[in-house]
Amino acid sequence: MDYNHHIFLSYSRKDTDIMQRIRDDLRAAGLIVWTDEGIEIGTTSWKQTIATSIRETGCLVVILSPDAATSRWVLEELDFASLQSKPIFPLIARGSENEAIPFGFAASQWLDIRDLSTYHVEIDKLIASINKKLNLKSTLLESDHSEKSETLINLIGIWDQTYNDEKSGLSGSGRYTFKASSEFEAVVYNPIMNVQEIQRGKWNLIDKELFLEGQTALANNPAMKLPFSTVVRIVEADTDRFVAIAKTSGYEISGTFIKFR
């Protein structure tokens, strides 16, 4: 597994409403979805973030419409995803096929969500195709010890985390709350900036990989929220303790989670 999120969602800002519906439906299915919401489009930092997020995605889902077909940024995202050999799943959401299908995709297979009466059928097809392509074996962890998961932990609850990476010199602690609704909240010490971060988002446990995706903000500037996603690989676990490795800012940091009593 060489991705930090399952899906990079490409869309025109004029299709934000339908994008948000698709995003929420994919997340409800346990998939980690990255979008550029909250980032100013066209800036240098935006371009760098887009490139990194496409490199780190499992696949790209593009929402097609007449506006998307003529969007410079959507077309560049498609080109870059193709360059990175990422699977691309097109959804035609608005407009005629002549208007909405961009150059180079006329021969591609796409799903049609223009008819609201068949929207959920088409989205279910998309979810099944992504799960098959990325070889995802299970959905959200059940509150009991489901046989679908190879770990022995019931993640739902409050966990205290400590980490110490000798190579980078980074060390710190945090507290994570994992909810049955697949949402999580965390307060984590950021040793690079010497400040606490507040994280909120969705979690998904697939086999021994914990996917976290959402928004993070510094405790001293909570209004400035940035999207983030990460994969935590569980290497050792029992009912109230697990050890995991996360890739963060180029470092592999090992941490220990102990369930709060």
Q: What is the pLDDT along the chain (261 residues), one digit of tens a residue?
A: 568 899 999 999 999 999 999 999 898 888 889 998 877 777 777 888 899 999 999 999 999 999 999 999 999 999 999 999 999 999 999 999 888 888 777 667 889 999 988 898 899 889 989 988 998 854 433 333 333 334 446 788 888 888 876 666 677 888 999 887 788 999 887 666 677 888 998 888 877 788 888 888 887 787 888 888 888 888 888 778 888 888 655 567 788 898 875
What backbone torsions phi and psi does residue 94 show, to the nearest 5 degrees? -160, 145
For the entire predicted model, the pTM comes to 0.57
Distance in angstroms (rounded) separating the CA atoms of residues 103 and 249? 36
Nearest alpha-carbon partner for 71 in 148, 13, 137: 13
Name all domains of the chain by residue range, CATH numbers in brackets.
5-133 (3.40.50.10140), 157-259 (2.40.128.20)
Q: CA 259, CA 261: separation in Å to the nearest integer?
A: 6
DSSP code string of 21-47 = HHHHHHHHTT--EE--TTS-TTSHHHH
User: Which amino acid appears at position 161 of this protein?
Assistant: Q
- CA–CA dist 8, 35 (Å, integer): 6
